[in-house]
Structure 1
């Protein structure tokens, strides 16, 4: 009979999975356009959102990691547990914020597609103003629907669906505290 792997191995695997997810999100975030083909569109809502997402993506990379881990009195395994839990929270919070940025970018990129369909290669004019206003309102509604709660639930469901070990994932409140402490 073989024994199950020690829990710290599960913790290590979980941190690696979450960091891999975050790295993938960073590639997508970095690859998104930020400048319009026509610079007259520079200050439109969608392109402003894309530029903010690029800045936010860089910011989440630059947030300092919390390297203060409480000393454990339970030996090497307990100290490793404390360190892994700290790294897990850091990685999980970064992935959460990365997913938020990615979803905001996706909404802005849909806005570009809708706007391009309305303009059909032309420029804004009085005949398409109300349609353009409509896509701006749609973008604002989509951006408003991207909440911490919905992202947390989506990521949790995805992890469970991939049969990942989620037994010690941080709570949404812990993630929000991490973001406030590290990234503001």
Structure 2
């Protein structure tokens, strides 16, 4: 017996995949190499390179296509498959948002650092300001938590009037992520 919601499930998966695709464009567009190679190993540039690697990893991670055999006919099987794809897409979007927010913090770090250096190089006179810049980025990165991202995405989806009834829980997303770690 079908519950008649597969159309909603299909639309929800399409919305989430569209969001993820947009995030991937932003992630791929972020710089990874500093204009001055002396800055290559600084915290912000290292964070941007890690974000690029994480973004590539989430793209290269194969989808879990193991769907249990559902009883009740083709509509129930489609429901089971859509739920599996929904979790996969939702978790990818979640991880993409996490990467995007980390990149944004690192890019702000670059801007702050450039303002401090004013076209010059680090020296003892600006070392304290540069340390403060590093600390600010670390503080921002510490706020990029699974809980915060999950709540932010959920609030955004609700604000757009999206059908979120069957969205996976944060724990399900975290399990998906853990199962795909390198």
Same structural fold, with TM-score higher than 0.5 when normalized by the shorter chain: yes
Quote how far apart the aligned CAs of 1:64 are.
1.3
**Does residue 102 in structure 1 map to residue 90 in structure 2?**
no
Count of residue pairs brought into register by the alignment: 180
Task: Report if aligned partners of 1:50, 1:108 keep a CA contact under 8 Å in 2.
Answer: yes
Tell me the TM-score normalized by structure 1: 0.96
Q: 2:149 aligns with which of 148, 151, 160?
A: 151
CA distance in 2, matches of 1:181, 1:75: 30
Tell me the TM-score normalized by structure 2: 0.97
**Does residue 93 in structure 1 map to residue 95 in structure 2?**
no
Aligned runs of 1:1-184 on 2, under 5 Å? 6-184=4-182
CA RMSD in angstroms, aligned pairs only: 0.9
CA distance in 2, matches of 1:125, 1:34: 24
Task: Report if aligned partners of 1:70, 1:82 keep a CA contact under 8 Å in 2.
Answer: yes
Quote how far apart the aligned CAs of 1:13 are.
0.1
Q: Detail structure 1 runs of 4+ shifted over 4 Å in the superposition.
A: none
- Aligned partner of residue 98 in structure 2, secondary structure: helix
CA distance in 1, matches of 2:71, 2:168: 23
Any stretches of 5+ residues in structure 2 without a counterpart? none
